[in-house]
Amino acid sequence: MKENTVLTKMRSGEPAAIGWLTAGSPLLAEIVAGLGFDGIILDTQHGYWSYEAMLNALQVILPTPTIPFVRVARNEPDLIGLALDAGALGVIVPLVNTPEQAARAVAAARYAPAGSRSVGGVRLRLYGSDYVQEANRQIMVATMTETSEAIENVRAIAAVPGVDCLFIGPSDLALSLGCYPERNQAHSRAIAEVIAAGREAGVPVGMACSGAEDCLQRARDGMLFLAAGNDASWCTAGATTHLKTLRTGLARE
């Protein structure tokens, strides 16, 4: 089966640089997959991905070394199964607040006897003839830690067999802690609590970072799954820079 090199990196203690796509464009996914990110997240929770567009994006990512992940809209077995059968090599599951909810996500992503995922997905043969035998080891399950309840239960969530990553949603966490949009010490302490829980359980921690510098700081903090901005922020930053250069040049003409 195609190796999940992001998991391989994290299991050896190396950080992985992850791109985040929201626009629902397979063409953009193809371009970004060629840039050298370790992985790409297709965000079907807050992004604008139809099923067809998600499938097309997974098709164009497959020939590249970049590993595709899907953030599913909800912790539902059918959504997790659809994403994996389409070719995602991992799922990011939002709003996992209890170990029972974490176990539900893991079960949906694992074949028996480790879970309840149904065998299917005709394009999975492209990932290797041994897909079913190897998928439980290669498919990443990341549970999102983004509420005060999840912080209270984070050590129990990290202890659930099959949880491969604790992924922090900083904005929803701030909202839950009552400090959105401004982050405070309670927010920082909550993030530190997740990092400590992951370290104790041997489970990598990741976060949706605001950009490259934020990713570097989080890597120094011990995080390994580093989502470095998203297509909307990259487009905005690039277009703003180009427009500023153009306006400045035109003013001198």
For residue 136, the surrounding DSSP H or E stretch is: helix 131-138
d(CA 209, CA 217): 10
On whether the CB atoms of residues 136 and 114 are closer than 8 A, the answer is yes
Q: Which residue has the tokens 């195609």?
A: 2
Q: Which two tokens stand for residue 18?
A: 């992850």
Q: Exactly one of 11, 35, 36, 46 is catalytic; which is it? A: 46
Reference 207, options 188, 189, 228; nearest CA is 228
d(CA 58, CA 127): 12
Tell me, yes or no, if 187 is annotated catalytic.
Answer: no
Chain-centre distance of CA 199, in angstroms? Answer: 19
Return the active site residues: 46
